[in-house]
Structure 1
Amino acid sequence: MLKSVATIALSIAAILLPALSAAAVESELPEQKPLIAYEARIAGDDARTRIVIDFDRKPTFRLHYTARPNRLIVDLDETVFGFGEQNLAAIGLYSDIRYGTMGEGVSRIVLTAHRPIKAVVAEVRPNETDKGFRLVIESEVVPEKQFADLVQNQQWKGAEQVAPGKNDRVGVQIGPVKPDEFIIAVDAGHGGIDAGARGTTTKVEEKTVTLSFAQALVERLNKEKGVRAFLTREDDTFVSLSERVVIARQHQARLLISLHADTLRQKDIRGATVYTISDKASDKLAESLAERENLSDRIAGLEIKDEPEEITDILIDLTRRETQAFSIQLAEKLVKSFEGQIELINNPLRHAGFRVLQAPDVPSILLELGFLSNPKDEKLLTDPDWQKKIADLIAQAVDRYLDTAGVARGG
């Protein structure tokens, strides 16, 4: 009997010990940390340009090409870019260089070129003088036909190759929605590789301002009876314009508020503006801002395919009928809430063709909180007390909107 028990015990141990050992080894493994790109340099002319980026450990990378504009895209595992912006300023072949996060575990460098190019050197080498590795990318001008062949024959499908981020529509968790809850999506403009505008004085980036304010607004809205607000992005992650709309719709949002803080050449212009969607812009300023904001996906290196004209017309028509009416109601109440409390631009209620406002069944507004190009606005935009004040005014406007619309709200 004792022998039998011992045999059984040994058999159980034989089964459990490997699993326990594996679990122990797994628990001892360090969590995979982001790569650190700690230094960068660029040199060359309008025919050939070389970029070198130093990493703390060996990176893996993937190259892609896009046309109109001509771009070389470098995808990396999640990376912290620790070098100064001036270290990788666009010169030589390149008219613009951007880098940042694209989603959880993915970062990207987007190199926009004046002319068609090809990477003739693209490799990782061990650093000679210290630990770590360097990524070397050397590009040169090629004929249009050769570049077109590179774009056509590559095994890459643009956005499909970007791993879903923390804010992917599956990843945004707001919990079960009660039947009497009014859901609001708060959209912090820009993020990740798309930094947006930059402050004139402090150089603060628009993506930082919008996220900070969005967090304050969600906190304030969630104090309203029967309201549940959530963020379309919760950190410094890139989320495409179309995905922001999908996130709002798939989480049953009944309002979308998109937040921005742009720059203008005229630094004396300041104040908030509220936009609704329209196929025709209300004025040149609205048209210009919409064009700039709609470039967000292209800045991140995504290939954007315009919808067929007849589909676009249907969406706009649907928006104009009922959803657009609700959007305008909210916009009007928001402007009224701001009047006498904060600075407003002349004619603060405007409209243009913003892609992020195109949800056919979700009333949506885009709020320009102010302009980072104006020193007074810039100072306010980064002031937590001012952010709380504006969040309170928005919440009051939303409360009046819900009452006017006859929306029943639970406790």
Structure 2
Amino acid sequence: MLGAARIRQIAGKVAAVARPAGCACLILVMLAPAARSNPAAGPATDQVLVAVAARVVGDENRVRVVLEFQQEPVFAIRYLTAPDRAVIELPETVFAFEKSALTGRGLVSEVRYGAAGAGRARIVLDLSKPARLELAQTAEEASGALHRLVFDAVTVDEGVFQDQVAETVWTPLDGGEIEQVRAGDASDTLNIVIDPGHGGIDGGAEGPAGTMEKNVTLAFAEAFKEALEAEGGIRASLTRTEDKFLSLSARVRMARDADADLLLSLHADSIRIKSLRGATVYTLSDKASDAMAQALADQENAAEEIVGAKLDGAAEGVAAILVDLARTETRVFSTGLAQQVINSFEGQVRLINNPHRHAGFRVLQAPDVPSVLVELGYLSNRDDEEMLNDEDWQKKTAELLAQSVVKYRQTILAGRK
């Protein structure tokens, strides 16, 4: 397991966080999914930090980063190359400020932040030049309500920066031993839920020769599961193994109940442009990337209405906070997998132009499970219909898709080190 259950545990601790200075409003916090971190990677405590404010000021030679917390923070700093980065490691942290408060400026070209594994969070500062991060100030407000950290990023010679990278050795602040991460450890297992789209009364798209989408997706899902099981360190299951109807909210719930690290939904839709063929990879967004993505999302989301199903309260809540989800690592991990799929398919499987697209697909709305929808092809195209029914094509494409998941897992494990 690479961490989904842990994220929900953390979210439970901090589901409602009061803003400082007596504000009565509550913040609903959705934490980001990530791989279980090596204990050597930075500080971890039982306390969940709440970062309530942040700002970045400065120029090309010196930048100040100010962070304010509701609790006294424990932190560590490390440096990485390719590209040059300074990393502030923190315990579990809720970032309860606007995303625009912590953005790149001058010497710090970009800022990213989020969960970095069980018990940890991370702020990554991309550097436009070699730099050193100096602790300029730690302070507590007179009221004791807030704790402030102030870091100054200042330019240094390339040689000095490389020395900083070389000298970065991580020992847990609590004195624990460094854990060696080995491929094949049970905790390294990536748990993926494969979702064959449609089923039962919901047949999905139908090709010119009568091929039903629900049958194509199930056949491919079985081939994909077999390909994944041939790889080490991956556990795969299906949302359905027979021709039966499942609501979209039920599919999301099954992935969450399984503590899935990934949900991959398979489809083969029809589209008005009959000449269009090839695979497309979709991730979640509150705003569609284009009209075609919006049309397909509307088409897929309509599956709930076939039997009068209604999106359950949890999923409605997710829909209401799509903008917040877009700010979390969930979106980053989903996008990372989508790119791995495209990389594996390129030159091997036909792709449409701009193959990574996004829209508000309900089946992708699990807040703590990175999720991707793969359109294998379009049944509205006769050539794609024939291809989708070809067992050799299914086997080859399933193996390529499995390789993308393997590479995704390797990326996650590498992030622990």
> Scaled by the length of structure 1, what TM-score is found?
0.54
1:193 matches 2:201:
yes
Q: Distance in 1 between matches of 2:325 and 2:205?
A: 32
Q: CA deviation at 1:401?
A: 1.1
Q: Please, which of 372, 380, 390 is the counterpart of residue 373 of structure 1? A: 380
Matched, 1:239 2:246: yes
Pairing 1:55-94 to 2, within 5 Å after superposition: none
Q: 1:329 & 1:355 partners in 2: Cα distance?
A: 20
C-alpha distance in structure 2 between counterparts of 1:281 and 1:384, whole Å:
33
Q: For the residues of structure 2 that align with 1:308 and 1:299, how far apart are their CA atoms? A: 18
**What pairs up with 1:151-170 in 2 under 5 angstroms?**
none
1:197 offset after TM fit, Å? 0.3
CA deviations over 1:81-117 (Å, ceiling 9, x no partner): xxxxxxxxxxxxxxxxxxxxxxxxxxxxxxxxxxxxx
CA contact (8 A) 1:182 1:226 kept: yes
Query: Aligned partners of 1:261 and 1:375: how far apart in 2?
Result: 12
Alpha carbons of structure 1 residues 318 and 225: separation in structure 2 relative to 1, 3 Å:
same
The answer to whether 1:285 aligns with 2:292 is: yes
DSSP 3-state at the match of 1:380 = helix
Determine the C-alpha separation between the residues in 2 that align with 1:311 and 1:330: 21
Q: Deviations over 1:314-372 (max 9, x none)?
A: 35413541111000001011111111111111110000000000000100000000000
Q: Residue in 1 aligned with 2:308?
A: 301
Check whether the contact 1:323–1:361 (CA below 8 A) recurs between aligned residues: yes
Look up the match of 2:275. 268
In structure 2, what residue type is equivalent to 1:179?
A: S
Q: RMSD of the TM alignment (CA)?
A: 2.1
Which SS does the other structure have where 1:406 is aligned? Answer: helix
Q: Cα–Cα, structure 1 residues 304 and 243, in superposed 2: closer, same or farther, change >3 Å?
A: closer
Residue 179 of structure 1 aligns to a residue whose secondary structure is: helix
Does the Cα contact within 8 Å between 1:319 and 1:360 map onto a contact in 2?
A: no
- Per the alignment, residue 341 of structure 2 pairs with 334
Alignment-derived partner of residue 97 in structure 2: none
Describe the superposition over 1:346-402 as per-residue Cα deviations: whole angstroms up to 9, x where unpaired.
Answer: 110000000000000100000000000111100010111101111111111111111
Query: Does residue 183 of structure 1 match 2:191?
Result: yes
Contact 1:316 / 1:358 at 8 angstroms: preserved in 2? no
Secondary structure in structure 2 of the residue aligned to 1:215: helix
SS of residue matched to 1:280: coil
Provide the C-alpha distance between the structure 1 equivalents of 2:391 and 2:372, rounded to a whole number of angstroms.
23
Counterpart for residue 317 of structure 1: 324
- Aligned 8 A contact 2:318 2:367 in 1: no
Q: What pairs with 1:250-265 in structure 2 (closer than 5 Å)?
A: 250-265=257-272
Indicate the residue corresponding to 1:214 in structure 2: 221
1:303 and 1:326, CA in 2 relative to 1: closer, same or farther beyond 3 A?
Answer: closer
Secondary structure of 2:357's counterpart equals strand
Question: C-alpha separation between the residues in 2 aligned to 1:182 and 1:268?
Answer: 37
Q: Gaps spanning 5+ residues in structure 2: where?
A: 1-184
Structure 1 gap ranges (5+) = 1-176
Secondary structure of the residue aligned to 1:398 is helix
In the alignment of these two chains, the number of paired residues is 232
The amino acid across from 1:369 in the alignment is L
User: CA–CA distance in 1 between the matches of 2:254 and 2:200?
Assistant: 17
Q: TM-score scaled by structure 2?
A: 0.53
Greater relative contact order, per chain length (Cα 8 Å cut-off, separation 6+):
2
Aligned partners of 1:275 and 1:308: how far apart in 2?
19
CA distance change for structure 1 residues 180 and 403 in 2, over 3 Å: closer, same or farther?
A: closer
In structure 1, distance between residues paired with 2:415 and 2:286: 32
Q: 1:296 to 1:250 in 2, by over 3 A?
A: same
Question: 1:105 corresponds to which residue?
Answer: none
* Alpha carbons 1:221, 1:227 under 8 Å: kept: yes
Greater radius of gyration (CA): 1
1:224 maps to: 231
Question: The residue matched to 1:218 in structure 2 has which SS?
Answer: helix
Cα distance between partner residues in 1 of 2:312 and 2:395: 39
Deviation of 1:310 (Å): 6.9
| Shift in Å, 1:303 | 3.8
* Distance across 1 between alignment mates of 2:192 and 2:293: 24
Name the amino acid aligned to 2:255. A
Identity %: 56
Amino acid at match of 1:206: E
Structure-2 residue corresponding to 1:14: none
In the other structure, the counterpart of 1:364 is 371
CA deviation map 1:60-86 (0-9, x unaligned)? xxxxxxxxxxxxxxxxxxxxxxxxxxx
Aligned positions of 1:98-117 closer than 5 A: none
User: CA separation of 1:295/1:309 partners in 2, compared to 1, >3 Å: closer, same or farther?
Assistant: closer
AA aligned opposite 1:330: L
Q: Measure, in 1, the Cα distance between the counterparts of 2:414 and 2:254.
A: 22
Deviations 1:183-228 (A, max 9, x none): 100000000010000011x201100000000011011111111101
Aligned AA (2:334): S
1:407, CA displacement in angstroms?
Answer: 6.1
Say whether residues 1:400 and 2:375 are aligned partners. Answer: no
Distance across 1 between alignment mates of 2:216 and 2:341 = 20
